[in-house]
Amino acid sequence: MVMHQNFINGRFEAVGGEGIPVLNPARDTVISEIPDSSADAVDQAVAAARKAQTSWEKLPAIERAGFLRQISAKIRENADEIARVISEEQGKILPLATVEAHFTANYIDYMAEWARRIEGEIIQSDRAGETVLLFRQPLGVVGGILPWNFPFFLIARKMAPALITGNSIVIKPSEETPNNAALFARLVTETDLPDGIFNIVYGRGGTTGRAISLHPDVKMVSFTGSVDTGSKIMADCAKNITKVNLELGGKAPAIVVKDADLDLAARCIKQSRVLNTGQVCNAAERVYVDETIAEEFVEKLSAEMKATRYGDPLGNDELDMGPIINKAGLAKIDELVTSAMSGGAQCVLGGKVADLGMGNHYEPTVLTNCRQDMDIIQKEIFGPVLPVITFSDIDQAIDYANDTVFGLTSSIYTTNLNTALRAANELHFGETYINRENFEAMQGYHAGHGRSGIGGADGKHGLLEYTQTHLAYIQT
């Protein structure tokens, strides 16, 4: 059994203590173990990152870009192995895991391209003979705390903008998916990246994660995960006034109006909901359909969902989705579905745990007759379940969609440009997809409103999150 070692200052460091088992969620087998790193181990990683960062920030950004491109090249060379590792521990189907590996390499290259475009400003002064300069400077050491759903990509989503802008980073992967992070570290050792710039510490949120948030030398915690954890991280970061960047949960509404292409809507919403087994922050989580076309649409949507093939992703190449990440996630989905049904929702398809003899599988599910006050409409499901509500006009649809504490993404299906523009203006979400579902573009800006987060990732705006301003007033 592999017991992963932290990656600190360019070396793998053993940590004592009892290991946390890592499971294959399709087979219920233990595939590796990680240590629950203490505050001392985190301190060692932060100290190494801090020391290395002082020379790193002095390098021309174009030289930092060169190191990033070495990492992306290694990822491309090893994409098949990366995909297999992600699939085994996270349950993603192999084609999607392969996309994740290549997208990660492309993302790192995209961030490397910013090397010549990190620009400051020259501001007009009120004083004669004075020049006011605004510099964009690195923060120092960034802490990256990750979830399990796109574990490999999320390392890069934090590491690449941090490094190109002159920061160093300490990453804590999810305890569910550390194997891909260990592989990432191995690939980094095959490049010339200076020691200490990229570090990994393994462990539970309550120990290793908290030690990162509470560390006085961590200048920003960049976190992706649930709202509850985001709130705890903010509270811990408050102690040292540490900056937070939070990418949290979502409850994306998909609105289908009368004039929509119903086949397109059914296909896109289904694909979004079964992608990564529904465990995507910006996947369609609730469907609003015009009451006059509801019957026809639900029939199409159910037929699409029914065709979903699922099982063990390493045992079958022909699947649309794999397992749910763990037993707790599976139980949460089942509880939401059961409680909706006892509250009056009608189960058109699925509605229960799938018995495949092993692993955490849930049947593709469609529920109608749902209501706004149901937990299944208000809480994140994170599984292959689509609750449906009908509406009488677009005002009601937009009101329903906005009736949530989340604000990450939303979608609308319409062939009328006015309706599309109205939705883009009136939906209170960071992103609105029109006639399609997720994903977001790396050159866009992925940032949630409301409890979906603070700050964001990707593009120019995401890059600047990893910088702070410094003004110089030069009087001549």
- Interface ranges with ligand NAD (CB under 6 A): 145-149, 172, 174-175, 204-206, 209-210, 213, 224-226, 229, 232-233, 247-250, 281, 380, 408, 446, 448, 453
Q: Min. distance of Cβ 340 from ligand NAD in angstroms?
A: 19
Quick one: which of 349, 268, 322 has its CA closest to 91?
322
- The closest residue (CB) to ligand NAD is 205
- Rounded Cα–Cα distance for residues 223 and 394 (Å): 35
Q: Min. distance of Cβ 199 from ligand NAD in angstroms?
A: 15
The one catalytic residue in 237, 281, 380, 440 is 281
Q: Min. distance of Cβ 196 from ligand NAD in angstroms?
A: 22
Q: What does the angle CA 140 – CA 146 – CA 147 come to, to the nearest 5 degrees?
A: 165
Task: Compare residues 74 and 172 and give the one whose CB is closer to ligand NAD.
Answer: 172
Quick one: which of 11, 382, 62 has its CA closest to 198?
11
The one catalytic residue in 88, 100, 175, 247 is 247
Task: Compare residues 245 and 419 and give the one whose CB is closer to ligand NAD.
Answer: 245
Task: Compare residues 139 and 324 and give the one whose CB is closer to ligand NAD.
Answer: 324
Task: Compare residues 305 and 324 and give the one whose CB is closer to ligand NAD.
Answer: 324
Quick one: which of 356, 337, 355, 358 has its CA closest to 346?
337
Task: Compare residues 236 and 290 and give the one whose CB is closer to ligand NAD.
Answer: 236
Q: Min. distance of Cβ 457 from ligand NAD in angstroms?
A: 7
Task: Compare residues 46 and 52 and give the one whose CB is closer to ligand NAD.
Answer: 46
Q: Min. distance of Cβ 465 from ligand NAD in angstroms?
A: 13
Q: Min. distance of Cβ 382 from ligand NAD in angstroms?
A: 6
Task: Compare residues 166 and 205 and give the one whose CB is closer to ligand NAD.
Answer: 205
281 is catalytic: yes
Burial 402-428 (b: 16+ CB within 10 A, else e): bebebbbbbbbbbeeeebbebbeeebe
Q: Min. distance of Cβ 92 from ligand NAD in angstroms?
A: 13
Residue 362 class from Cβ within 10 Å (0-12 exposed, 13-18 middle, 19+ buried)?
buried
The catalytic residues are 247, 281
